[in-house]
Amino acid sequence: MARPGHPAWLLFTAAIALFAAGATAQDCLSATFQGGRTFLKCNALPVLGASLHWTYHAENGTADVAFRATSGTNEWVAWGINTDGTGMGGSSVFIASQDASTGVASVLTTVLEGTNPTLTKQAPKFAVPVAPTAEYSGGAYTIYVTVTLPGNATQQNTVWQHGPFTGGAVAPHTPSGANILSVQRLDFLSGQSSGGSNSRLHRRNLHGILNAVGWGILIPLGAMIARYLRVFESADPAWFYLHIACQISGYALGVAGWALGLKLGSESKGLTYKPHRNIGIAIFCLATLQVFALLLRPDKKNKYRVYWNAYHHSVGYSVIVLAAVNIFKGLNILKPASRWKTSYIAIIATLAGVALCLEAITWAIVLRRRKRAKSYGAAANGTNGTGLQL
């Protein structure tokens, strides 16, 4: 049996991928439309089971468009062009839904202002010479619309979406997973698309991995090294350098991931993840404070050192807890294949398990030392020799 990574396995996967791509292209080209309509070009869109079919007329800068997306009857689908940038905010969209009792499909044209738009009929930010219509058949909506491409430019930022239609109204779509990857810059002349879900998805994944490894693994590991290696006199000062190395590399990866997250956030104008963003900013501030606090660290014998230690530990542990919370929030937004979440849970569970064992061992060592110190009549010093603090 070929294992993942084996050449035979790779070939097999490549063949499946080619077959799947071929099949969607075939579906795309063989699609038929009501009233004998035909379109010269078509693209299978990468998410939400949708495809776009169109004919571009250079002489008057218009495109006849059919957007088709699989959907349940109590759901809506939408397609539109963003004249203000990428993403949802500022898009002029055509939303198809159907009357629950008659099953008649209709189109609402509106402009999406901000994150929580009121969906009232509104003229799009470009001319629509032929009024849009929609049909629902075979478990899919098709929206037909003729648009005058804004600025007579063939390249446009397009968006599409899918969500629940409840109580006769368009309800918000899922704010995660495939529903936040449905953007694409499309050239209506060549059919080429770019800057869409793939590069966005790759950058989101990179953001997730950098943060999970930096804040989620290296920083807790560094904290464990400081807490548990210090008890062993022979590990001094090696534990200190290991601790610093872990925290500095964790901080570097984490800050890179954090900056990428802010960039992704600024690009996603229509949709912001406030708690995830704010926790991320708090983590960055606390961790940066931690780096600068090193410069102010009083000498071991200084009487303020104990306060500095208390501060250093509480800020450090806060970063670790906040990071774990935020990584789970991020996983819920990105909704990667479940193995990612499972792997992360396995890693932090292992770290926690190891920490628990080491905690027990450390306490056993510390208590034994104290007992011995007492029986020798020496004063047991909790902060030095035993090395266990907070």
Residues whose CB is less than 8 angstroms from the CB of residue 232 and which lie 6 or more positions away in sequence, other chains included: 239
Nearest-CA neighbor of 149 among 50, 47, 59, 52? 59
Phi, psi of 134 (to 5 degrees): -140, 155
Q: Does 13 bind ligand NAG (CB under 6 A)?
A: no
CB closer to ligand NAG out of 22 and 129: 129
Q: Does 131 bind ligand NAG (CB under 6 A)?
A: no
In angstroms, what is the minimal distance from the CB of 343 to ligand NAG?
A: 50
Q: Does 58 bind ligand NAG (CB under 6 A)?
A: yes
Q: Hey, which residues between 193 and 222 contact ligand NAG (CB under 6 A)? A: none
Q: Report the C-alpha gap between 240 and 227 in whole angstroms.
A: 10
Q: Report the C-alpha gap between 41 and 24 in whole angstroms.
A: 14
Q: Which stretch binds ligand NAG (CB under 6 A): 36-44, 54-62, 311-319, 368-376?
A: 54-62
Q: Does 61 bind ligand NAG (CB under 6 A)?
A: yes
Q: Which stretch binds ligand NAG (CB under 6 A): 60-68, 75-83, 131-139, 254-262?
A: 60-68
Q: Which stretch binds ligand NAG (CB under 6 A): 55-63, 192-200, 311-319, 330-338?
A: 55-63
The 147-166 contact track toward ligand NAG, x by CB under 6 A, reads -----x--------------
CB closer to ligand NAG out of 187 and 359: 187
Bridge partners (DSSP) listed for residue 94: 79, 109
User: Helix %, strand %, coil % for the chain, to 5?
Assistant: 50, 20, 30
Q: Which stretch binds ligand NAG (CB under 6 A): 56-64, 131-139, 237-245, 302-310?
A: 56-64
Q: Does 137 bind ligand NAG (CB under 6 A)?
A: no
Give Cα 249 distance to the centre of its chain.
Answer: 22
CB closer to ligand NAG out of 129 and 353: 129
Q: Does 129 bind ligand NAG (CB under 6 A)?
A: yes
Backbone CA torsion sign across 331, 332, 335, 337: positive
CB closer to ligand NAG out of 56 and 141: 56
CB closer to ligand NAG out of 151 and 382: 151
Tell me: is residue 276 an annotated ligand-binding position: yes
Position 135: which residue type? E
Q: Does 62 bind ligand NAG (CB under 6 A)?
A: yes
Q: Does 364 bind ligand NAG (CB under 6 A)?
A: no
CB closer to ligand NAG out of 47 and 143: 143
Q: Does 22 bind ligand NAG (CB under 6 A)?
A: no
CA angle 247, 250, 256 (to 5 degrees): 135
Q: Of 57, 202, 263, 371, which lies in the binding site for ligand NAG, with binding defined by CB under 6 A? A: 57
3-state secondary structure 146-196: EEECHHHCCEEEEEEEEEEEECCEECCCCCCHHHHCCEEEEECCCCCEECC
Phi, psi of 338 (to 5 degrees): -60, -20
Give the burial string for 16-29 (b: 16+ CB within 10 Å, else e).
Answer: eeeeeeeebeeebe
Tokens of 17: 């991928």
Q: Which stretch binds ligand NAG (CB under 6 A): 53-61, 258-266, 317-325, 347-355?
A: 53-61
Tell me: is residue 6 an annotated ligand-binding position: no
Q: Of 30, 32, 60, 102, which lies in the binding site for ligand NAG, with binding defined by CB under 6 A? A: 60
In angstroms, what is the minimal distance from the CB of 334 to ligand NAG?
A: 39
CB closer to ligand NAG out of 63 and 283: 63
CB closer to ligand NAG out of 57 and 263: 57
Q: Report the C-alpha gap between 144 and 50 in whole angstroms.
A: 14
Q: How many residues bind ligand NAG (CB under 6 A)?
A: 8
256: exposed, middle or buried (Cβ count in 10 Å: 0-12, 13-18, 19+): middle
Q: Does 40 bind ligand NAG (CB under 6 A)?
A: no
3 state DSSP class of 248: helix
Tokens of 18: 């080619």
Binding residues for heme b: 207, 243, 276, 312
Binding site for ligand NAG (CB under 6 A): 57-62, 129, 152
